[in-house]
Structure 1
Amino acid sequence: MSTEHIRLSIKEKIGYGLGDMAGNLYFQMFVVFLPIFYTDVFGIPAAAMGTMMLVSRLWDAVNDPMMGMIADRTQTRWGKYRPYIISLAIPIGIAGVFTFTTPDLGDTGKLVYAYITYIILMMLYTAVNVPYAALMGVLTPNSAERASASQFRFVEAFIGQLFVGAATLTMVSYFGQGNDAHGWRMTMIVIGGMAAILLAGTFFLTKERISPVKEKTNKITDDLSDLVKNKPWVLVGIATFFQLSYIVMRGSATPYYVKYFTGDPGLTFLGFNMEFTSLLVSAGSVATLLGALTTGIFNKYISKKNVYSWFLIISSLFSVTFFFLNAENVMMMIVINALVSFFFGSVSVAQWAIYTDTADYGEWKFGRRATALIMAASLFLLKLGLTIGGASVGWILELYDFVPLADQSEFTMTGIRLLMSVFPALFGLIGGFIMIFYPLSDAKMIEIENDLNARKEAKESAE
């Protein structure tokens, strides 16, 4: 069967998605719980925590694209990308446990320890997720099949998010029995073990089939030159930075907002007593999952570009309304957070399908393909957004005179409310408006796909 007609089985789509479920077990921990763990459990000042997250990303400026170029040049019997996914499944779990461990050190020692463990964890996250993101591009050359695999991927990713949001604080309480430091460490052992099993599932249930037309090996300088001249990638890459800054700032602010503004009123849901943080995050994850599931329906009537841009704008506008809620409006908080998350779910599905389209565009435009480099550079911008979103929470908390584990002033409460609403929305609105100028329509992608297939057939006939 010619490669352009390859259709992925349901089993392979599910297997591919397991990798992002694993990635989101870690990602959700980074976004929602790591900042408040650092400030309220480990005892690191908020501003120092924010600066640490920013400084650690300087290495990623080299690490992410370097990992992409290494993966693009890897050749093994198992393919280019899958070996990294299986070989690093256990090391990243170990790094996660050390990151959520609280050794008895002085203030300087704690900060140095946090720097070292966080940087190692993020390096391993890169080494797994750059190859994983590139894997979609070599499963099949069919853009529609990739979009379908992307939908499976994000459904499973949001299941991972839902688990972290719903179960983390319960596990911390169960394992800790009043000792939060021990509870967090044991919780990460469970999450790391789950992630290792899921990454192994991706390795065994997927197959790399597609390679670029075999020509001379790309020069690194050519790959980098093509990347910066790839206008569609540049636009979606910049939008990704603002998109992630938006959602990460909201996510990282959520535990602070619930703990210090609402007082974390316990609620009963389906017969279970849940902390409000868990319920709010879980409701958001369910809504995000619904958004991901309905993306295919929206794409029948709206292009991927418009789903990305307009749904991100709508999500951001709903976020602004959080500022006007009173501490007692807990049900309204759940409803509005669900709307924010629902529209963001479709954005996330569209985002990664668009990235693989920009890889096709790069090969079509420049005659060279560097899927892993595109995904690595995209992951760098994603993590830069993750960093700025998370770091901004620390800096803004410090700016508004936040004191951990204490009653907060009205001035501080205003800052916490802004962190949950207006400040992140500004980033989301900018990202959505940038994507209005993205040039690749769905019709253009069909043209590009057909042209690339014709080139490959001509190359094969000439050999």
Structure 2
Amino acid sequence: MQKQKLSLSEKLAFSFAGMGQNIIYNLVITLIMFYYTDVALIKPEIVATIMFFTRLWDAINDPLMGMLVDKTKTRFGKLRPYLMAVPIPLAIFTILTFAVPDMSPGIKILYAVISYNMWSMTFTITDIPYWGMSVAITENPEERLSLITMVRIFCNIGMAIGILVPPILINSLGGSTVENSAGNARAYLITAMIIGIVGSALFALAGFGTKERVKQSSEEAPKFRIIAQNKPLLILQFSRLMGAFRMVIATAGLYFANKNLADPNQYTILGGILILAMIFSMFFAPKLVHMWGKKMTYINTLILGFISHILLFILGYGNLTVVFGLLFICGISLGINDVVTYSIVGDTVDYLEHKTGKRAEGIVFSLNTFTTILQSALGLAFIGIVLAFVGYQGDVVAQTPLAYAGIFSLLSLFPAISCLLSIIPMLFYKFTKEEHDHILAELHPVK
């Protein structure tokens, strides 16, 4: 097994690309629900349906994208061509998603379905090759963990920008993230233009600033059905699906700040604390992995997440200092879990190659993207269902007591339950560091 070191410039290029991708992703995932219900004035139950079926369709086509990637053969490799080609379409569809015309309800819904579908599919084309590159850049597991840790830190900086900056831009452009106003449509559109262009420009660095080094061990492209032989990956993805309702707390937090607290500025503080904790915790993730191993680090972060969310639900939000303190702990849980998740996925690429003789970064990471999208679909649809059930009204600031309780549960109770459910599959995860080291030694013997 080779011990090549990645250059700082290549690590930075790949990391800044992740930042750009996450700026765009979190703009859309955080604001799209609120944009549809409170700006475009589409009913929450309809928005929930759009969210679910759009993301479900995108999840279904992820495996197709993964197989396409693994069949690609060019002088640039099988991953880089997509990373070089997709930034411009990503910017265009990000902008169009926030350009719902002020026409009849039927036209609004049709436009939302088409534009959101196009954005979602374009994002898939960015995500699968990007994370496939994280294991194609180097075969050295220590370098991979170092790279992924750095990338996830930059990704969370991108998350911070994508969550915290758009509300500031919207308000400065004459819009509002609290109530419907005459300037909202223009403000959201210009914000999407700024974020879409900047994020896509950064993402272009993934294609133009990196190099594929780990090559396919077999000339024949793998088929998606071989994923059934990757038991560690399947267990991890099932665990992630069980954690779907904790992955949309940024969206729930927007409703919580705007309605329960009636102060959009609190969302900036809330999101900032959460993301700061995530970034801070990532610096310690490699040390925790070294101490506990990846499986137990993953499980322990879920236990920590459950404790913090359930305490938040029990204590309520009468004291914002307590709320922010518990959210900081939630962020620590999310940050460490995030690094470990992507590191495990990379390990399972090696596991599958050792078992089948085929290196399938595209297929493996397409399943990971499938899970991410399905998480989003389930989480956002669930938010829409809860909002509809509790009688949420997007065109007014004041809500009923039931609506306030429902919104707060989306930030506290449901994520706590999701953490517990997510632990169960990982109890059956058996792929150890020793087994991984043995596999790497056989796949890449020292020459």
TM-score (norm 2): 0.95
Aligned equivalents of 2:317 and 2:298: distance in 1? 32
> Alpha-carbon deviations, 1:225-261, whole Å to 9, x = none?
320121101101111222343221x222111111111
Question: What is the CA RMSD across the aligned residues, in angstroms?
Answer: 1.7
Structure 1 contact 261–327 (Cα < 8 Å) conserved:
no
Which of 340, 357, 362 pairs up with 1:367?
Answer: 357
Matching residue's letter, 2:220:
T
- Residue in 2 aligned with 1:461? none
- Residue in 1 aligned with 2:164? 166
Aligned equivalents of 1:340 and 1:58: distance in 2? 27
How is 1:47-126 mapped onto 2 (pairs within 5 angstroms)?
47-126=45-124
Matching residue's letter, 1:30:
V
Aligned equivalents of 1:339 and 1:51: distance in 2? 32
- Per-residue deviation, 1:175: 2.0
Matching residue's letter, 1:78:
F
| Structure 1 residues 167 and 38, CA gap change in structure 2 (3 angstroms) | same
- Residue in 2 aligned with 1:408? 399
User: Given the alignment of the two structures, is residue 437 of structure 1 paired with residue 425 of structure 2, yes or no?
Assistant: no
Structure 2 contact 59–374 (Cα < 8 Å) conserved:
no
- Per-residue deviation, 1:422: 0.8
Matching residue's letter, 1:411:
L
Structure 2 contact 21–200 (Cα < 8 Å) conserved:
no
- Residue in 1 aligned with 2:27? 29
- Residue in 2 aligned with 1:254? 253
- Residue in 1 aligned with 2:220? 217
User: Given the alignment of the two structures, is residue 348 of structure 1 paired with residue 351 of structure 2, yes or no?
Assistant: no
Aligned equivalents of 1:304 and 1:291: distance in 2? 15
How many residues matched?
A: 440
Q: Give the 3-state SS of the residue equivalent to 1:375 in structure 2.
A: helix
- Per-residue deviation, 1:448: 1.1
- Residue in 2 aligned with 1:187? 191
Provide structure 1 residue ranges, at least 5 long, that are not aligned to the other structure. Answer: 267-274, 458-463
- Per-residue deviation, 1:326: 4.4
- Per-residue deviation, 1:288: 0.5
Aligned equivalents of 1:30 and 1:188: distance in 2? 9
User: Given the alignment of the two structures, is residue 329 of structure 1 paired with residue 319 of structure 2, yes or no?
Assistant: yes
Q: Give the 3-state SS of the residue equivalent to 2:273 in structure 1.
A: helix
Q: Which moved more, 1:280-289 or 1:419-428?
A: 419-428
- Residue in 1 aligned with 2:378? 388
Aligned equivalents of 2:222 and 2:404: distance in 1? 53
- Per-residue deviation, 1:69: 0.8
Kindly, what percent of the aligned residue pairs are identical? 27
Structure 2 contact 100–112 (Cα < 8 Å) conserved:
no
TM-score (norm 1): 0.91
Q: Give the 3-state SS of the residue equivalent to 1:438 in structure 2.
A: coil
Q: Which moved more, 1:400-409 or 1:377-386?
A: 400-409
Structure 1 contact 309–433 (Cα < 8 Å) conserved:
no
Which of 398, 412, 417 pairs up with 1:421?
Answer: 412
Structure 2 contact 302–333 (Cα < 8 Å) conserved:
yes
Q: Which moved more, 1:55-64 or 1:92-101?
A: 55-64
Matching residue's letter, 1:202:
A
User: Given the alignment of the two structures, is residue 128 of structure 1 paired with residue 126 of structure 2, yes or no?
Assistant: yes
- Per-residue deviation, 1:165: 2.6
Structure 1 contact 313–433 (Cα < 8 Å) conserved:
no
Matching residue's letter, 2:149:
Q
- Residue in 2 aligned with 1:206? 210
> Alpha-carbon deviations, 1:72-119, whole Å to 9, x = none?
111222211112112110111110111111311111111111110000
Aligned equivalents of 2:64 and 2:298: distance in 1? 28
Q: Give the 3-state SS of the residue equivalent to 2:437 in structure 1.
A: helix
- Per-residue deviation, 1:327: 4.2
Which of 173, 176, 186 pairs up with 2:174?
Answer: 176
Provide structure 2 residue ranges, at least 5 long, that are not aligned to the other structure. Answer: 176-180
Q: Give the 3-state SS of the residue equivalent to 1:78 in structure 2.
A: coil
- Residue in 2 aligned with 1:313? 303
Structure 1 contact 20–153 (Cα < 8 Å) conserved:
yes
Q: Give the 3-state SS of the residue equivalent to 1:301 in structure 2.
A: helix
Q: Give the 3-state SS of the residue equivalent to 1:44 in structure 2.
A: coil
Aligned equivalents of 1:246 and 1:31: distance in 2? 14
Structure 2 contact 25–162 (Cα < 8 Å) conserved:
no
- Per-residue deviation, 1:139: 0.5
- Residue in 2 aligned with 1:146? 144
Which of 196, 199, 218 pairs up with 2:200?
Answer: 196
